[in-house]
A = this chain, B = another copy of it.
């Protein structure tokens, strides 16, 4: 019987589209970073070995996390510059140099899927080890991704990028869940592409194109859940995946948590160690309240995740939002928003979440307007930003790390890292 493939987990790469958030692999959903959750899951599913491709910034943090994984052999390699997926995969070559015939299963940390997919991939491979397997996500609506060209037996003969709604070769979109039967051949094929003059950085895709002509590429169809962290508002989607896991579990309240007599826990809620839910406050599930969080008097948290040591102050509302650690909120409204760690969101502040015309909210990413596809979206606020009292953010606005927003400011546009923004009032004084 074939051996379990070695995971190649891509955790480097640029995250500039995630601005003002950083290091999406390390974002915590619940108590632990996404990477750790994923690694633990792979271990549960039977994987024995992984190579994580980190970058210069996150390598140390990742090394620290990996120490927590005891039942899987993990090596960390570093891709110093974000030079594409082919380059990233090649960083794993040194680890596997002595075992070119090992199968490798390439995944990205920030693609969140069901166990089902991994099990089906493994099962297909173990059933017929000579083939390479690509996940094919069944999508009826058009999505601007790569579509698989498959025959009736599920054999893949090509991938067509963004073919347009009417020219799709199939309803199968590929994403990074690729199980290659022979690591050595993959590395060689990628390196071959690097010797060519082609300016584009899709060496990995071109390598697969070449390999498909020589060996069997087979689709593994998948129709479960697939959420990817591409833009910062996707944090809310990933959060919902984790909140969904609370459903049906009722009220999980740590013994050291304090729940006031007149506080309300409604539905499926998780309350962590040392957390306090004060009088008149309500936590409405699905909701995750991390350790040592304070949900202050008459506050409300619903369909949200609030991580450790954050304060949900008096009469604050957190709805459908992701709030990281050490965030201070007071008498404010955090709606459909993402707050990175250390943010201060002062009294009277609101993240407006609905366009007056009820249209889809858009946001700017690297200068371009992007339709977020969301009817409701508040703000995305970076680490350590200070939002002073009575400020208001328009739907889809992003605020950079360490930025300072003055009192009463209406934030209509993105605010860069470290910028200070304030509003000048024309004040009249009469004796």
Instruction: Give A392 to B264 CA distance when docked, in angstroms.
Output: 32
| A392-B425 in contact (CB<8A) | no
Q: How far apart are A260's CB and chain B's nearest CB, in angstroms? A: 7
Chain B residue with the shortest CB-CB distance to A387 = B356
- Asked if residues B297 and A279 are in contact (CB atoms below 8 Å), the reply is no
Can you give 14 contacting A-B residue pairs, CB < 8 Å?
A264-B279, A280-B298, A298-B298, A300-B314, A330-B333, A346-B350, A346-B352, A352-B389, A356-B404, A356-B406, A419-B431, A420-B429, A420-B431, A426-B426
Q: Are B408 and A410 in contact (CB under 8 A)?
A: yes
A282 within 8 A of B: yes
Contact B431 A421 (CB under 8 A): no
CB < 8 Å neighbour of A350 from B389, B394, B423, B429: B389
Cα–Cα distance between A348 and B346 once the two chains are bound (Å): 13
Contact B428 A426, beta carbon cutoff 8 Å: no
Give the CA-CA distance A112 to B330 in the complex, in Å.
Answer: 34
Q: Is A115 an interface residue (CB 8 A)?
A: no
Q: Which residues of B contact A280 (CB under 8 A)?
A: 262, 264, 280, 282, 298
- Which residues of chain A from 222 to 272 have a CB within 8 Å of any chain B CB? 260-262, 264, 266
A33–B382 CA distance with the chains assembled, in angstroms: 49
A394 to chain B: which residues have CB within 8 Å?
407
Q: How far is the CB of A380 from chain B (nearest CB, A)?
A: 17
Q: Are B404 and A418 in contact (CB under 8 A)?
A: no
| A52 sits at the interface (CB 8 A) | no
A136: min CB distance to chain B, Å: 42
Contact status A279-B282, CB under 8 Å: yes
| A381 close to chain B: CB less than 8 A | no
Residue of B nearest to A333 (CB): B347
Known: A330-B333, A390-B390, A424-B426. 13 other contacts (CB 8 A): A298-B300, A317-B331, A331-B333, A346-B350, A346-B354, A352-B389, A352-B407, A389-B392, A407-B410, A409-B427, A418-B431, A419-B430, A422-B428
Question: Which residues of the other chain, B, contact A333 by a CB distance below 8 angstroms?
Answer: 330-331, 347-348
A388 within 8 A of B: yes
User: Which of chain A's residues 19-78 have a Cβ closer than 8 Å to chain B?
Assistant: none
| Chain B residue contacts of A348, Cβ below 8 A | 333, 348, 350, 390, 392
Q: CB within 8 Å of B: which residues of A? A: 260-262, 264, 266, 278-280, 282, 284, 297-298, 300, 314-315, 317, 330-331, 333, 335, 346-348, 350, 352, 354, 356, 386, 388-390, 392, 394, 404, 406-410, 415, 418-431
Distance between Cα atoms of A365 and B388 in the complex (Å)? 25
The docked-state distance in angstroms from the alpha carbon of A280 to that of B297 is: 9
A278 contacts across to B, CB distance below 8 A: 282
Shortest A295–chain B CB gap in Å is 12
Measured CA separation A223–B342 after assembly (Å) = 40
A431 and B315 alpha carbons, distance in the complex (Å): 33
Ordered nearest first, which 6 A-B pairs have the shortest CB separation?
A264-B279, A420-B430, A424-B426, A423-B425, A347-B350, A350-B389
